[in-house]
Structure formats: C-alpha cells, structure tokens
A and B are shown apart, each in its own frame.
Chain A
Amino acid sequence: MNTECAEDTLFLSVQAESIFHLTEPLFGKVITDTQRQIASAILYLSPDNNAPLPAQFSVRAIICTNTDPRVDMIKRQTTIPIVIVAENKVFSHGDVITVSERGRIHRYFRARSKNNAFLVTEACNNLCIMCPQPPKPDAIVSHEAIEERIRQTLELIDDEYLPASLCLTGGEPTMLNEGLIRIVDSISKKAPSTLIHLLTNGRYLCNEAYTARLAQAGGGQLLAGIPLFGHVSDIHDYVVQCDGAFNQTMSGLLNCYKQGIDIELRVVLNKVTVKYLPSLAEFISRNLFFVKHVALMGMENMGYAKLNRDAVFIDPWEYKDTLSSAIEVFQLYGIDVRIFNLPLCVVNPDTQAYCKQSISDFKNNWNSVCTRCVKRESCCGFFSSSTDKFWLSRHIHPFINQ
C-alpha cells in the first residue's frame, strides 16, 4: 500500500516554502496513499510516489515538495490547502502534525522515529544552571491546551505505529499536577505496551499519594528518568538552584520505589557534578540500589549551559579518569550504568563499552575529523548545538585502523 521510497529525515519542525488556500491552522494525521484518502487527514505526496493522482482530492490538505511537477496541476484541480516543502523534508504515513496559518509545520508524532516525545509543559520548578531549554514562566503556559493537544494526537496514532517507548518531557511534567496523571492514563489506555519514559526532577513525587496515583495510572509502563546531581544537598541544590530540592527528590525516588515505578537515575556531567562523581556513585549504590539503571550524561552546550559556561563547562577529556572510577563503583555494586552523549574518543578505553548512541535523531551531528574514524558507527557523535564557540572538547580525534 505504501509506495514511499525516500527515507524519513525525522525532522521535528519545518517552515513551508509556500502555501496555497491555507486559511486556518491544521492538525491531522499524515497519509501517503493517494488511493485511500481520509477526509480528516493530510496527504503527503512524495516525489517518489508515481501512483496516479486521484480524480478528486478529499483530504484536509496536501503536502508536496517544491520540485514536484504535479504541483501546478493539483493547484488547478482543487481548492483545499496545499503546503509546499523542500524536497529533503520527507513525512511518513502515520505522522501527526500541525500546520500554522503561516506554514510552520510541527510533527507531534513521527511514526518512523524511536525518539517520540511529548513536551507536556515548558514550566519548571527547578532552574538548573546548565538547563539546555530554559523554562518559561508558568503564566504564559496553557496546560489545558497542551493536555488537549496530546489527547488528540494520541487518538490519531494508528495502532500499527504505537511506539515501543514514548517520552514525556518538559519543563517539568509534574507541573501539570493531575493533568500529568490524566495524560499517563490516556497513553496507558491507548498503548498498553508502550514504555512511558517520564523525565521529571522528582521533587513533586515526594507527595506519596500523588506518586501512588501516578503509578496506578501508568501501571508497569512507567520509567521515571530522575536526575540526581550530588551525594549531598549542597551540590544538588546549587545545580538546580533550589533550597530543599535534594531532600524532595530523594524522597520522590523512595516513593517511586515503594509504588513500583521503575527509575532511571540521570546525572548530567559538568564541572560541578564530576568533582564528587565517585562519591555520588557510592551514595547511589548504597542508598538507591533499587534504581533500574544510572545514566551519566554528557552536558549539552545550550541554553543556560552557554550562559554559565565558566561555572559548568569542563572538557570531558579532563574527567575521563573520574568517569572510569565512578563506573568501577557502579560495576562493583552491580548497578547498570550507561554513558550518554560522550563521543568515544574523549573517554577511556574501559569506558567505551558503557557508551550508548544516545543523542536524539533530530539533534545529532559530527565533527569533520569524524569522517576518517573507524568507530563512527558505534559512537553517539555530538549535539548539533556544539559549535566552534561552544566547543565540547579539544581532544576529538578519529580512531584509525592500524
């Protein structure tokens, strides 16, 4: 049924090159089969799709690429909205998208991606000194609208494209309070075998009754990704810029354990957190031994990490031995540890086996020297936010076969 050939480039959003007949914002599911039109859907006409065009279009809108010779004919044939995008912007059947009146396209759900995430709020009760996406004030965030949009998106996902995992991220998702529980509940009902990866700072989970309700809504599907930045409040509270946050997060972690929510403990590696990393590893191993795994994550040089670069930036090359020691502690205690966002050439050889290809598909990048590297296939590469000015490491080097 699907004749699509070109590969989905998995972009998150794009500006249309030009638009016709578009008078109001659109929201709908993408279809690619010209022979099976759905009135509420948006037809993406791939340049590779040579199937004959239908005599009549009965869809909400049509997306074409700017090189498609059929555009003029379609324009004459119909008055439904037509959105023209660059040729390398490939959509997939099953995507759920919005198109603004001005032609800004957002893909809420990408049927072909393994990194689908719902941004449930941009408000946050922490103010992390290295936050890559600084939060917005509560006042300008409409949580009702977001919740409604997520519910609509879920409804449009075809069963065959239900993802293996779905990330709920923010901001801080628990800022939605009961709204988050409703979202988790609706995901759980729609996709009972999808892993719900909830990225939260865990502070609000110190409310045990709330955590119990969340656990009830998410069943066994929830994996809470919760950050811990230090083995003492002094370090953690400074990193998140909030007095008392450490105690709340610790208590939230314990409540997750009690209520049967799996935990992925996340540590962002920066100048502040690496200083006592082996102590943190020991603290986690002895106090939070119930966590499913620990993720040690290279810092993304974006947002506040740029603003506070002097305070937070450290070349990963400088902490590679500390990283090895911390991994040894986790390994001794039998705690599953994974390293994210660090290219293989800036960690010790004994660390490489723990490194994951982690950077989300839409923000991955490579250095020019990487073309010669024989380990590129197994390396995570860089955040596309790493630039000449905000460089990651002075020690990027290719592995060359002898």
Chain B
Amino acid sequence: MSVKFQTPSTFSRDTYQLLPFRLNSLKSDRYFLSTDYGEWMCLDAKQLNALIRGDKIEDEALWYELKAKHMICENREESQIALLASRYRTKKAFLESFSQLHIFVLTVRCNNSCVYCQASRKSCQSDQGRYDMSPAVLEKSIALFLSMPSDKLTLEFQGGESTLNMSIIRQAVALVKMKNTQKDIQFVVCTNLCEIADDDLEFLLENQFSISTSLDGPQKLHDGNRRFGKTGAWRALMVTLDKIKQRNAFDRVSALMTTTRQSLAIPHEIIDEYVKNGFRSIFIRELNPYGFAHKYFHKIGYSTEQFLTFYEQCLDYIIQLNHQGVTFRESYASLIMKKLMTPWSTGFVDLQSPCGSGFGVTLYNYDGNIYPSDESRMMAEMGDQHFKMGNIFESSREELFFGPVMQELAAAGVNDCLPVCSDCAFAPYCGADPIRRYQVTGSVYGHPGKDEFCVKNRGIITMIVKKFTEGDLETRRLLMQWGMK
C-alpha cells in the first residue's frame, strides 16, 4: 500500500482567537470562565494570562478543553456559530411557550400564624365573601389559564391556606377537566396540611395533585415559627403526613423550609428532621423581604453572609450524610448543578433570565387582579400596586401581557443587559429578579454586585463550583447526580 499518512501535528494549529467569554475570580488564584451558552472551566492566573496574551497553549489537555468548550477557536466558522446558536436556544427554551406556572390565590385567610408570613394573612374567621376567590373569578381565571399558549401547564393553588377554600379547588378541577382536551396540566396545592379533611385529602390524591407543604425543622423550631391552635402546627402536619404515607402517596409531597435566625444554630437538626420523616430532599430557603418578615426583621432576620454560612453548613452535612449512605439532596444546589452541567434550561422561575416573574409565572388573585408573581401580589396587599398587570374582568390579554408591567419586567429582567451582571461569569447560571430588587432597593434594576439577590446567588454558585471542582471524587459524583436526575 503506497498511501502516505500525516502526523498528528499536521492537524494542529498554534494560533487561535478568543471567543466571547466572561470570567470571575474564585479567589485563591483561580478564575471561573463561562460562555453565554453555559460552558465553563477554571483556570489559574498563569494560564489565564497566557490565554489573554494569545500565547501558545503548551498543555495539550488544556488546549483541547479550551477548544472543546468554545472559549477559543482557530478560525471562526459558520458551522461552529450554528452549533453555539443551537446551544443558546436550548438554554433559553423555557421562553418558547411563555408562562407555564399559573398560581391561583384562593384565599388570604389562614389557620397558621407565622412569624415570617409573606401573605399578610387574615384569620380563619374573616369574611369569606371578602377574602376568598369567588366562583365568578375562578371561572374567568380558568378561561384565561386554558388560553395560554403552552401545551404543558401547572396550576398551583395557594393561599393563605388554600384548603380553607376547598370547594373552589374542587370546582377548578372540574372546570379544567370539562374544558380542557389537549393540554397536559399538573395540579399543585400549597398547604400547611394542618387540618385537611380526609375526603379532601382523598380528592387531592385521586387527582394526582403534587402537595407542597412547609416544614421548618424540629418541632420546637417549627412551632415557634408557625402558630396553630392548641396542638401546634408540627403535630398537626405529622398526623396528615402519616395519613399520606398510609396511602403510599408520600412521593407526592415536597416541603419547603424557611430559615429564621433561630434556624441558624441548628442546621444538622433541621436536616435530620427531614431525613427522619422520609423526605429525599430539602430546599434551604432564606426569608423573603415581604409581608411580616420585613417588620419583624429585628427578631428573626439575619444578614446574607450569615445565611450563606448556614447554607454551607447544611450542604456539607447533607454531603456527609450521602457519604454515609443516606440518599438526600439539597434542591437549590441541585438546580445550580443542573445549570452548570447540562445543556438544558430549568423550569425554576426564581432564578432565570429573562426573569420568571411574568414570563414564567402568572398569578391570579382571589379578587381578580393579575400579577406577575406571588411576591408582587404580596406587595400589593401591603399597599404597593406597582406590579398589578390588570384585572380578570377588566383587562384584555393584550393589556395584561403586553402592558407597562410586562414592559418594565422585560427591561429589568434580562441579566445580560444589567450593569455588573453583564460582566459576571455566573450570569448564565443566575437570573434576574426585578420585583425583589424593587422591594429591597427601590429600583427594578437593583444594585447588582452588592444587593442581597446578587450576594446570595454569587455566594452559593461560588460555593458549589468550589465543592464540585475541589471536592473528592465521591463528592463530585454526588453533585453530578444531583444535577442530572
């Protein structure tokens, strides 16, 4: 055979061009580089400087990684741009069919009285005619909900305590079943599960509801945060959870915890409480600056730095538990890992760009008003109607979804266009939250770089990147699994 083969070096180049990427310092001489479509890698200062100077990259594995992750290219090819464009579209696929999470606030009455209540609750005995959603509002709201473009929709019932208006939940399900022929609709109910009647529980399970409840930790902490009757909220919750377990439906239940100053000292006890009750995950959530929490900050509040310390203690403990054979995950970290490791977008509306508010969420209030998120509804309860999109009886679809509120959210809800964010390498994994920023800083644009939204998310993403890149093999594997499945 007279064929002549070329050597490997024939097919390698020495020169390259930089493709657009951003970088953050991870301290300790390491830098985090990322691209718009979500590829990332870490470099040390020497490697980074060589790259920026355009020096020949001698380390073969590094040279390949830079190329494979599209930080650099030999010559800009149309075909590569097509691939990257497809990656970018995939990352932003959550935008394709507009808002998918539709929250119905059925009542603002509640049977719990919580120190951090975000909803400016009314007592159970308050006037139902005034504080509950009426059948007329429900019918109009369901009609708008079913007219939304997405084939997959989530209908979430919340309150107050949503189950205090159980008849409206039943009517809503009946209406959806009667009118909907094609859409895939998932029902979710947010409830403290403190006093739900057996036949109502049966109804929820029969209709494949996901149940989202609250559990702050051990009995003392939970009851301290949430006042309920004589028995306390914790015991009442446990009784209902037992009923659900007896029906083999525990996998329908997920729980949210809210961190108060009292939580900070007992991270392990909180996790243990979740594990003991059979939960497979926890969502470590900080206080929201809405509702009563704002007023009681001096009693239950803490700084973002304190929250980050607490969060890391929880995370480390959960990782340790996994190493001991307990399968358990932290949901926020899982979400960040999914963003870091996969080409997919996530459906998580609190950390998205363009923002989840309005673009991923539509909220239908009991009084017929429409808001872009739960937080903006709470703000309205407190007297600031800034984010009211309109009213179900008065506004057209055009007015609701193309009106001034949505325009403002669009302007402030894309982190590529926000100062500081536009230069931040974490931006592809982070989001924008104009409503929270308006509440905390007075401006929908906020103060990226130093407001609490930024400090918290930058802190958590840094923490997870470090744990993933510097952790032992077992930790790396675990975090990978959290992101993938």
Contact = CB atoms under 8 A, between A and B. Distances in A.
Interface string A287-313: 101000000000000001001100100
Contacts of B74: 233
Given A254-B82, A279-B64, A289-B343, A308 B5 contact: yes
Query: Secondary structure of the A side of the interface?
Result: helix
Determine which residue in B6, B64, B87 has the highest number of CB atoms from chain A within 10 A of its CB, and name it: B64
A129 interface: yes
Contacts of B10: 238, 243
B11 A234 contact: yes
B68 A279 contact: yes
B55 interface: no
Given A134-B3, A232-B68, A307-B1, A237 B11 contact: yes
A333 interface: yes
Contacts of B12: 234
A390 to B, nearest CB: 15
Contact of A238 (B1, B3, B8, B87): B8
B3 A333 contact: no
A287 B484 contact: no
Interface residues on A, range: 20 to 34
Contacts of B342: 286, 333
B39 A238 contact: no
A337 interface: no
A317 interface: no
Interface residues of B, number: 30
Contact of A231 (B64, B82, B87): B64
B86 to A, nearest CB: 6
B52 to A, nearest CB: 21
Interface stretch (A112-120, A140-148, A245-253): A245-253
B472 interface: no
Interface in B1-34: 1, 3, 5-8, 10-12
A233 B1 contact: no
A130 B63 CA distance: 25
A49 B283 CA distance: 74
B262 interface: no
A325 to B, nearest CB: 11
A276 B39 CA distance: 18
B242 interface: no
B456 interface: no
A332 B484 contact: yes
Contacts of A332: 480-481, 484
A251 B82 contact: yes
B83 interface: yes
A308 to B, nearest CB: 7
Interface string B429-468: 0000000000000000000000000000000000000000
A238 B11 contact: yes
Contacts of A287: 83, 87, 343
A241 B1 CA distance: 16
A25 interface: no
A100 B16 CA distance: 56
A127 B68 CA distance: 23
Interface in B56-100: 61, 63-65, 67-68, 74, 77, 79-80, 82-83, 86-87
Task: Give the most central of A206, A233, A254, A304: most B CB within 10 Å.
Answer: A233
Contact of A129 (B5, B68, B80, B481): B5
Interface in B340-363: 342-343
A247 B5 contact: no
Contact of B64 (A129, A234, A238, A311): A234
Query: Which of the listed residues A276, A283, A287 has the most CB atoms from chain B within 10 Å of its own CB?
Result: A287
Interface string A236-277: 011001010001101100100100000000000000100010
Interface of A: 127, 129, 134, 206, 231-235, 237-238, 241, 243, 247-248, 250-251, 254, 257, 272, 276, 279, 283, 286-287, 289, 304, 307-308, 311, 332-334
8 contacts: A206-B79, A234-B11, A234-B63, A234-B64, A238-B7, A250-B79, A283-B68, A287-B87
Pick the 6 closest A-B CB pairs, nearest first: A251-B79, A237-B11, A231-B68, A238-B11, A238-B8, A234-B12
Given A241-B6, A333-B484, 14 more contacts: A206-B79, A233-B67, A235-B8, A235-B64, A247-B79, A250-B80, A251-B79, A257-B86, A272-B8, A287-B87, A287-B343, A311-B5, A332-B480, A332-B481
